[in-house]
């Protein structure tokens, strides 16, 4: 994408309607993000349903603004309450809250805001540069590659979102893939797992599944806790000093790159990006002991990493129609709902679209920085609303969002059912992201596997003969083997030999 | 942890078996392409993989001492922020009234949500929403019923007005 396309799209978007929509959506995203229990995915899914009647371009503006705002907004409660507003901000607590306890809450918020803005900027820059290049490679993808990509996505997503126990991540992914098989199959229109009901013949809708898994399950999780939070920290100076930023430029660049790469991996979201960025910053620091005690370096790493991840997560959405994170999955679904077809053909069908998305990102980043630095004290007031009042209202909004798209009560029942399933999964350490990714990639895997087998006359050979497939299978196997006891056994064997 | 993994594993295997059996009952040679294009092919492959994962989960829960020791060590090493009860958290009884156990809270939350969605479509949307919000606040706070009623009526009216008149969204 050339710079001229980006600027022409950016200036084209500077209309009162777009500016207004981006502003309120970013503010909404920040509020959703900062309220413990409300995830970015839930915010984006909720808005998808509520803005169903809006024009397609405005929906993309609103959803990207909510996404950017929510990932940043979670840092607010992480710093002030030591409770991450979204999973993406868990690493922010480690240094953000100690800074608040030292009386630097406002300054920590300022640093987090600036780091998030820079992170998002790195993400959008990479999105603009890499997407067209990846789009060219994606054009060579056929059924064999798409099926292998779906399997690779589930395996790596399960591995990274459940780092302690990847088996549970893979179970969640397979469960998501299986759920996506409900409904009429795309080749014979045979009703699969529908039990003769009309409601199931079209399959399970994505928005109720997402709102349930991420929204309702979170509400149950928040209401389960017998303790309530209160804001005690006072807010002081907010604007960060330039010198602090210049001093940590290496951390910013490194975390930005890590965020983008992690974001581009299917299904692996902002939380993983923040943790990896934080871990790498700690390992590279001259003062690793300061980490966890209020280090500017740690705070900047976590916030740059999670926000840079957003741009990375959109890259596979636009080029391969594969989401890089859970909120990106909703974005993908919303694009489909509004007649935009992301994937290899996007640069041909809508050549300016990548430029438009990049420009929308820029707009959201600007609003995020303005709102983040100027609205510190009013936003703290939002955190003081008791959860016993807030959560029932959020559940009401979840049901509205789920119902708005198809106008079916069945979707509301589905939302609550998936809320309970999601809560059970959370309670037993099964990550939700692979389930959602599996649910999105399921139709792609099913359709492409059977089509590929029909084309090759039932032969599996092309799946292992095509170069891109070979790379993806090799990576998939590597991931699986690395999480079995085999590498440890080999290491121990070599150790014993060396000792002998 | 082990008990939870055993139960989860059995559940996973049951779900996989259900999908697998249903997939086997689908037509396998209905088209000219034979089993390669059969509607049950992918669900059967996925159900088999899920069944294997469930089996590993159960077997590991029974025999995998090393795994659980490693998990314990990892849990102790991992840097965490106390996201369930940070230093800013305080017992709800002092700030929000009634003290309920975690299980009671979960059951109440789910129960109220189920009652709400069953009411939708049967009585007017705004009434059902106001009733649900009032019941939730009253049950969890155990006091301040007047305030709960005002919050319930105002918020349900706002939701109804904004979505039907501003966003033009269908409501149940």
Burial call A320-352: b when 16+ CB within 10 Å, e when fewer: bbbbbbbbbbbbbbbbebbebebbbebbeeeee
Long-range CB pairs of B20-28, under 8 A, 24+ apart, other chains included? B20/B44, B20/B47, B20/B48, B20/B51, B22/A192, B22/A193, B23/A192, B23/B47, B26/A190, B26/A192, B27/A188, B27/A190
Closest residue on chain B to A392 (Cα): B133
pLDDT band at B94 (very low <50, low <70, confident <90, very high): very low
pLDDT band at B93 (very low <50, low <70, confident <90, very high): very low
Q: Of B87, B105, B170, which has the smallest distance from its Cβ to A403's Cβ? A: B170
> Hey, is B52 helix, strand or coil?
helix
Name the strand (E) or helix (H) holding B89.
strand B89-91
Joined together, the tokens standing for residue A426 give: 């959370």
Q: Which among B42, B61, B107, B125 is the top mutation candidate for probing chain A, defined by the most A β-carbons within 10 Å of its own β-carbon?
A: B42
Q: What is the four-CA torsion angle of A114, A119, A120, A126, rounded to 10 degrees?
A: 150
Closest residue on chain A to B135 (Cα): A392
Joined together, the tokens standing for residue A206 give: 């994505």
Whether residue A326 lies within 8 A of chain B, CB to CB, comes out as: no
Q: Which among B22, B28, B32, B43 is the top mutation candidate for probing chain A, defined by the most A β-carbons within 10 Å of its own β-carbon?
A: B43
Q: For residue A84, which residues of chain B lie inside 8 Å, CB to CB?
A: 81, 83
3 state SS for chain A? CCHHHHHHHHHHCCCHHHHHHHHHHHHHHHHHHHCCCCCHHHHHHHHHHHCCCCCHHHHHHHHHHHHHHHHHHHHHHHHHHCCCCCHHHHHHHHHHHHHHHCCCHHHHHHHHHHHHHHHHHHHHHHHHHHHHHHHHHHCCCCHHHHHHHHHHHHHHHHHHHCCCCHHHHHHHHHHHHHHCCCEECCCCCCEECCCCCHHHHCCCCHHHHHHHHHHHHHHHHHHHCCEEECCCCCCCCCCCCHHHHHHCHHHHHHHHHHHHHHHHCCCCCHHHHHHHHHHHHHHHCCCHHHCCCCCHHHHHHHHHHHHHHHHHHHHHHHHHCCCCCHHHHHHHHHHHHCCCCCCCCHHHHCCCHHHHHHHHHHHHHHHHHHHHHHCHHHHHHHCCCCHHHHHHHHHHHHHHHHHHHHCCHHHHHHHHHHHHHHHHHHHCCCCCHHHHHHHHHHHHHHHHHHHHHHHCCCCCHHHHHCHHHHHHHHHHHHHHHHCCCHHHHHHHHHHHHHHC
pLDDT given at position A389: 85
Whether the pLDDT of residue B150 is over 60: the answer is yes
Average pLDDT, chain B: 83
What's the longest Cα–Cα distance across chain B?
Answer: 70
Closest residue on chain A to B162 (Cα): A50
Whether residue A78 lies within 8 A of chain B, CB to CB, comes out as: yes
Q: Of A50, A193, A229, which has the smallest distance from its Cβ to B86's Cβ? A: A229
Whether the pLDDT of residue B91 is over 70: the answer is no
Contact assignment for A392 to B112 by CB distance below 8 Å: yes
Contact assignment for B105 to A167 by CB distance below 8 Å: no
Q: For the purposes of burial, counting CB atoms within 10 Å of the CB of A42, is it exposed (0-12), middle (13-18) or buried (19 or more)?
A: buried
% of chain B exceeding 90 in pLDDT? 47
Contact assignment for B169 to A165 by CB distance below 8 Å: no
- The distance of A240 to chain B (nearest Cα, Å) reads 24
Taking residues B84-88, report their average pLDDT: 46
pLDDT given at position A66: 94
Would you tell me which residues 145-184 of chain A have a C-beta closer than 8 angstroms to some C-beta of chain B? 164-165, 167-168, 170-171, 174-175, 177-178, 181
Q: Please give the DSSP secondary-structure letter assigned to residue B85.
A: S
Q: Which among A21, A53, A194, A228 is the top mutation candidate for probing chain B, defined by the most B β-carbons within 10 Å of its own β-carbon?
A: A228
pLDDT given at position B83: 46
pLDDT given at position B72: 78
Q: For residue A36, which residues of chain B lie inside 8 Å, CB to CB?
A: 83
Q: For residue B99, which residues of chain A lie inside 8 Å, CB to CB?
A: 226
Contact assignment for A185 to B39 by CB distance below 8 Å: yes
> Hey, is B60 helix, strand or coil?
helix
- The distance of A131 to chain B (nearest Cα, Å) reads 31
| Interface predicted TM-score (ipTM) of this complex, two decimals | 0.88
Contact assignment for A228 to B120 by CB distance below 8 Å: no
A131 close to A318: Cβ distance less than 8 angstroms = yes
Whether the pLDDT of residue B32 is over 50: the answer is yes
pLDDT given at position B126: 93
For residue B101, the tally of other CB atoms under 10 A from its CB is 10
Would you tell me which residues 3-42 of chain A have a C-beta closer than 8 angstroms to some C-beta of chain B? 36
Contacts of residue A497, defined as CB under 8 A and 6 or more positions apart, other chains included, come to: none
Q: For residue A404, which residues of chain B lie inside 8 Å, CB to CB?
A: 163, 169-170
Q: For residue B84, which residues of chain A lie inside 8 Å, CB to CB?
A: 225, 227
Segment-wise mean pLDDT, segments of 10 residues, chain A, 500 residues: 80 93 93 80 83 87 93 86 79 86 84 91 89 81 89 84 85 93 88 89 86 85 74 68 83 92 83 89 87 89 92 89 86 86 83 89 92 81 78 87 84 94 91 87 89 88 91 90 79 81
Q: For residue B132, which residues of chain A lie inside 8 Å, CB to CB?
A: 392, 395-396
- The distance of A45 to chain B (nearest Cα, Å) reads 15
CA distance B165 to A179: 36
pLDDT given at position B49: 94
How is chain A split into domains, by residue range? 3-466
Q: For residue B5, which residues of chain A lie inside 8 Å, CB to CB?
A: 428
Joined together, the tokens standing for residue A306 give: 């999670």
pLDDT given at position B79: 63
Whether the pLDDT of residue B87 is over 50: the answer is no
Closest residue on chain B to A101 (Cα): B87
pLDDT band at B47 (very low <50, low <70, confident <90, very high): very high
pLDDT given at position A65: 94
Contact assignment for B133 to A94 by CB distance below 8 Å: no
Q: Which among A38, A164, A174, A455 is the top mutation candidate for probing chain B, defined by the most B β-carbons within 10 Å of its own β-carbon?
A: A174
Contact assignment for B85 to A225 by CB distance below 8 Å: yes
pLDDT in tens, A146-157: 899 888 888 888
Q: For residue B120, which residues of chain A lie inside 8 Å, CB to CB?
A: 399, 409, 412
Contact assignment for B120 to A412 by CB distance below 8 Å: yes
Contact assignment for B109 to A80 by CB distance below 8 Å: no
Name the strand (E) or helix (H) holding B78.
none
């Amino acid at each position: 994408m050339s710079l001229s396309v980006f600027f022409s799209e950016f200036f084209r978007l500077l209309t009162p309607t777009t500016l207004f929509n981006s502003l309120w959506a970013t503010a909404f995203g920040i509020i959703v993000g900062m309220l413990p229990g409300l995830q970015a995915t839930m915010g984006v899914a909720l808005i998808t349903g509520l803005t169903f009647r809006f024009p397609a371009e405005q929906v993309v503006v609103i959803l990207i603004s909510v996404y950017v705002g929510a990932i940043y907004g979670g840092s607010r409660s992480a710093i002030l309450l030591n409770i991450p507003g979204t999973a993406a901000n868990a690493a922010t607590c480690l240094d953000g809250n100690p800074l608040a306890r030292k009386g630097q809450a406002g300054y920590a918020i300022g640093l987090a805001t600036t780091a998030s803005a820079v992170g998002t900027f790195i993400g959008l820059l990479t999105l603009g540069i890499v997407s067209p290049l990846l789009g060219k490679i994606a054009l060579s993808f056929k059924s064999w590659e798409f099926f292998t990509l779906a399997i690779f996505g589930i395996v790596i997503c399960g591995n990274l979102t459940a780092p302690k126990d990847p088996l549970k991540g893979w179970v969640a992914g397979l469960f998501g893939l299986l759920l996506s098989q409900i409904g009429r199959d795309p080749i014979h229109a045979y009703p699969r797992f529908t039990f003769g009901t009309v409601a199931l013949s079209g399959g399970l809708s994505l928005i109720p599944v997402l709102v349930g898994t991420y929204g309702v399950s979170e509400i149950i999780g928040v209401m389960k806790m017998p303790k309530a939070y209160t804001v005690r920290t006072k807010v002081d100076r907010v604007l960060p000093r330039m010198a602090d930023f210049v001093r940590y430029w290496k951390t910013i660049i490194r975390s930005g790159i890590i965020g983008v790469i992690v974001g581009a991996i299917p299904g692996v979201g902002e939380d993983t990006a923040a943790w990896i960025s934080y871990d790498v910053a700690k390992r590279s620091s001259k003062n690793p002991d300061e980490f966890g005690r209020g280090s500017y370096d740690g705070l900047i790493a976590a916030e740059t990493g999670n926000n840079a991840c957003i741009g990375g997560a959109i890259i596979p959405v636009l080029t391969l129609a594969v989401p890089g994170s859970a909120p990106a999955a909703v974005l993908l679904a919303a694009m489909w709902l509004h007649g935009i077809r992301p994937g290899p053909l996007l640069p041909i069908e809508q050549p300016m679209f990548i430029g438009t998305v990049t420009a929308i990102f820029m707009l959201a980043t600007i609003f995020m920085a303005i709102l983040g630095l100027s609205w510190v004290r009013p936003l703290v007031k939002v955190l003081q609303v008791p959860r016993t009042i807030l959560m029932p209202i959020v559940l009401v909004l979840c049901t509205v969002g789920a119902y708005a798209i198809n106008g079916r009560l069945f979707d509301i029942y589905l939302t609550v059912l998936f809320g309970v399933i999601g809560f059970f999964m959370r309670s037993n350490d099964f990550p939700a992201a692979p389930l959602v990714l599996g649910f999105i990639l399921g139709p792609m895997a099913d359709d492409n596997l059977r089509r590929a087998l029909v084309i090759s006359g039932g032969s599996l050979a092309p799946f292992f003969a095509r170069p891109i497939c070979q790379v993806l299978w090799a990576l998939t196997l590597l991931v699986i083997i690395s999480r079995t006891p085999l590498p440890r056994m080999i290491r121990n064997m070599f150790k014993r030999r060396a000792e002998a | 942890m082990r008990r939870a993994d055993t139960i989860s594993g059995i559940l996973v295997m049951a779900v996989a078996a259900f999908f697998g059996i249903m997939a086997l009952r689908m037509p396998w040679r209905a088209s000219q392409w034979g089993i390669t294009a059969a509607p049950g092919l992918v669900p059967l492959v996925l159900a088999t993989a899920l069944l294997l994962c469930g089996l590993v989960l159960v077997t590991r829960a029974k025999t995998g001492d090393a795994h659980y020791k490693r998990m314990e060590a990892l849990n102790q090493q991992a840097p965490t922020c106390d996201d369930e009860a940070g230093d800013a958290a305080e017992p709800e009884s002092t700030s929000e009234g009634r003290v309920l156990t975690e299980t009671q809270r979960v059951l109440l939350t789910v129960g109220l949500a189920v009652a709400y969605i069953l009411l939708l479509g049967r009585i007017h949307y705004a009434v059902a929403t106001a009733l649900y919000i009032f019941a939730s606040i009253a049950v969890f706070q155990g006091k301040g019923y007047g305030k709960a009623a005002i919050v319930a009526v105002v918020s349900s009216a706002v939701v109804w007005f904004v979505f039907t008149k501003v966003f033009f969204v269908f409501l149940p």
